[in-house]
Amino acid sequence: MINYNSLVKKWASELELYELPEAQNLVEWLLEHHLGLRRVDMMNFLEEKDLPKALLDDYERLKKGEPIQQIIGKAPFYGREFQVSRDTLIPRNETEELVHLIIKENPQPNLRILDIGTGTGCIPVSLFLEMNQPRVFALDISEPALRIAGANARELKAEVEFFQADILNESIPVDSLDILVSNPPYIPEKGKKGMHPNVLDFEPGLALFVPDEDPLLFYRRIAELGKKALEPKGKIYFEIHEDYGKAVQKLLSDLGYTEVEIIEDLNGKDRMVRGKNL
């Protein structure tokens, strides 16, 4: 027999890819998913040999570096749970900050909003549910990602209109926008060497990487299209690589956007750039 607390510590110590506090959180998440157990149950005793096979199988996947969110098929974002798969990026805390910024700065009703590179749909779904009666659109190049995004919108009762499009070679399928938002690929190919294998091996490279020689590729294209798709005084919001704040700011200014500002995340890193269409 082993109690919950001891099992968490034992399993966490075997997750060599993670620092101990994070490893403990991952094990707790797995136990809650399979057994409904939480920290308040830490004195409950378990018989290891009687643990469900599905739990043990998922623990082996966790040991091999597969992200917990993909193992259990869902991830938290802005107070809700979203389905995820290997075809979508796992929603991250920094993107919650982007969503919060948009909500805070745009209280007016009936805004037309487009998210480019939607992945799980976490951005447009959250904006629809949190803002004042917006009309929300989203697009992605990946059909499998759009299936996940559509399922999330249906499950969370968010009215989002989805499009499949290759933004580098096609135009934006909607116009008269008040807000254009994107968390596009922004990690240079050379950055792969320093990345954690649980990201590199299990999340879609299509949504992560850009050519070393042109890391602003998506920002430039989206900003150019935004000049036509946005209403006068419409706003553009980007999540950015921390190294590219000033470069994205200059890009937007050079294209004629005004009030272009770099915004730091909670860790003090350049993480968002916002501008206004003339």
Residue recorded with tokens 């005004």:
258
120 is in an annotated binding site: yes
150 is in an annotated binding site: no
88 is in an annotated binding site: no
**Token representation of residue 116:** 């480019």
- Phi, psi dihedrals of residue 112, rounded to the nearest 5°: -100, 125
118 is in an annotated binding site: yes
79 is in an annotated binding site: no
- What SS3 state is found at 90? coil
Provide the β-strand partners of residue 93.
Answer: none
119 is in an annotated binding site: yes
Cα–Cα nearest to 13, from 33, 2, 1, 27: 27
For helices 143-155 and 122-130, give the axis angle rounded to 10 degrees.
Answer: 30
Cα–Cα nearest to 18, from 30, 6, 36: 30
**Token representation of residue 198:** 């649980």
121 is in an annotated binding site: yes
Residue list for the binding site: 117-121, 140, 183-186
Residue list for the binding site for S-adenosyl-L-methionine: 117-121, 140, 183
Residue list for the binding site for substrate: 183-186
